[in-house]
Every structure is written in structure tokens, then in C-alpha cells.
């Protein structure tokens, strides 16, 4: 993968993480600082993005999130090519939908 493509992937994951945090019941509990696209060409932070994704997941579990959260964070996992988390987040989305319907 070229540096440009990697940079686009990581920038996309960053944006998706921030969008997912909007669906937390307490969105103020999460913030990932945005970087300029050019910074991603020199600062490889895949590990930071994976850690941020897990932090966001933990906040959702601890404080709650709307069902749409799990759909959005699943996109982050897909972008970061994390197949295990992609499947887990899809299952969490399905469970959240069921809880909503049962209320």
C-alpha cells in the first residue's frame, strides 16, 4: 500500500472514530485529536487508532450508546482491517437493535 493510500485510510478511520463518538450517550467522554492529512504521511499511527477504537468501545459498554454507534464503529474496524472487531461490532449492533425493539 502506498504512503498516500495509508494516509487516506488512517485519516478516514480518525474521522469515523469521531463520528462514532457522537452516538455515545455521553459523547463528551471521547475525543481523538484530528491531524492534517499531510501529517499521516509521516506519522504512522495505526496502533493509536486501534487503541482509540478499543477505548471508544469500552466507553460505549460502560456508559451506553445508541445502536447506530455499533454500526459506525464497525466501519472503523473495517477501515483498519480488524476482522475480529468487525464481527464483534456487528453482533453488538444486532443486540442493541433487539433491545430497542423490546422496549
Nearest to 32 by CA among 22, 41, 87, 42: 22
pLDDT in tens, 54-89: 999 999 999 999 999 999 999 999 999 999 999 999
- Taking the whole predicted model, whether its pTM rises above 0.95 is answered as no
Average pLDDT over all residues of the chain: 89
Task: Answer yes or no: is pLDDT of 23 > 90.
Answer: yes
3-state helix, strand, coil in the chain (%, to 5): 75, 0, 20
- pLDDT (0 to 100) of residue 36: 78
Q: What residue spans define the domains of the chain? A: 3-102
Amino acid at each position: 500500500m502506498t504512503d498516500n493510500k495509508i494516509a487516506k485510510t488512517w485519516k478516514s478511520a480518525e474521522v469515523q472514530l469521531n463520528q462514532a463518538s457522537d452516538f455515545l450517550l455521553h459523547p463528551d467522554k471521547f475525543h481523538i485529536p484530528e491531524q492534517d492529512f499531510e501529517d499521516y504521511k509521516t506519522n504512522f499511527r495505526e496502533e493509536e487508532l486501534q487503541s482509540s477504537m478499543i477505548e471508544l468501545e469500552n466507553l460505549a459498554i460502560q456508559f451506553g450508546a445508541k445502536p447506530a454507534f455499533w454500526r459506525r464503529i464497525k466501519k472503523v474496524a473495517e477501515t483498519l482491517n480488524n476482522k475480529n472487531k468487525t464481527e464483534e461490532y456487528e453482533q453488538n449492533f444486532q443486540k442493541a437493535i433487539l433491545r430497542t425493539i423490546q422496549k
